Amino acid sequence: MTVTAVRETEPALGRAPAPAAQGSPLTRGRRRLFWPFVAPALVLYTVFYILPTLATAWISLNKWAGAGPMEFAGLDNYRRLLLDPIFHDSFANTLTILFVVGGATFALSFLLTMILRDMAGRKAVRSIIFFPNIVSGIVLSILWGFLFQADGVVNQALRAFGVDDPPNWLGADNLFSIIMIGLVWVQTGFYTTILMAAVDRIPKDLYEVCDLEGANAWQRFRHVTLPLVWDVVGVCAVLWSISAIKIFEFIYAFAGAAGQLPPTKVWNTALYAYAEAFAGGVPKYGSAAATGMVMLALVGVLVVLLRRMFRRDPVQF
């Protein structure tokens, strides 16, 4: 009798759920609209991202000059990258740009955000510092090169202050440092604008309470600004990680001569891939594709780590 009673109270397996369990009419309507809205984006994503990525992965396993049959090489292209000192330098430069330039960019962006938060005319200043992002990277790199020429603006200013022998900024020893400073100049306005938009959402009474409590600028930033814009900082970190690894035109136009590649000491992985595919002798599309897959793997790892590091419960204010 007990077993029979239990079976009568259990839902029958395989039986269709009751209409009430299928959700409200609004929920059912959303389910019907899911695929019509998602399918076009899914098709575009598959055609323009998934399939090219799979094709690149396949090419990276072959020796191919861009024409004619491919010769399957397995992991030889990746093994060649591990043994190539130029790739080692390029990969190190990519990490330097990622962390050093990124750290300097975000430090300056936070500093400008704090300075401009209560400053009159901040919208005009925001537009000015955002200006480098609406100009082509090629133009910016040419302008940056003019500034640091032997008789450029920087050296003329130094001579005006009594420096008779200014450094050779475009020499081999200083070239990569000047490139990093230029990248900080180009990127700071973009991330300052995003962070300022997030800071503008913070209620002013929170800062007024800090002033009444006698908090200094660092304490206001540490305990009010940073926690309330933490999710935006996480998005900016992901955006920078993706863009830093594929920086190309600024380095190419700044350090390269007419029709020639820059010195290998300033290459990053994007320039290395370009050189393998298009510069000198028989194109090495397999090696270039392998470099691209390494860049993709690096981006994937960084995005996962950053998403975990910036994961927090949202703060309501």
Residue ranges covered by each domain of the chain? 86-310
Residue 20 has pLDDT above 70, yes or no: no
Please give the angle made by the CA atoms of 25, 26 and 28, to the nearest 5 degrees.
65
Dump pLDDT digits (tens) for 243-272. 999 899 889 888 877 668 888 899 999 999
Query: Is the domain covering 86-310 a CATH 1.10.150.130 domain?
Result: no
pLDDT of 59 reads 93
pLDDT tens per residue, range 111-167: 988 888 777 777 788 788 888 888 888 888 888 888 888 888 888 888 888 888 888
User: pLDDT class for 21, splitting at 50, 70, 90?
Assistant: low
Backbone angles phi, psi at 71, to 5 degrees: -115, 115
In tens, the pLDDT along 270-310 reads 999 999 988 777 888 999 999 999 999 999 999 999 988 88
Collapsing DSSP to helix, strand or coil, 25 comes out as helix
Full-model pTM:
0.81
Contacts of 193 (CB under 8 A, 6+ apart): 126, 129, 130
Q: Is 259 left (phi over 0), alpha (psi -120 to 50) or beta?
A: left
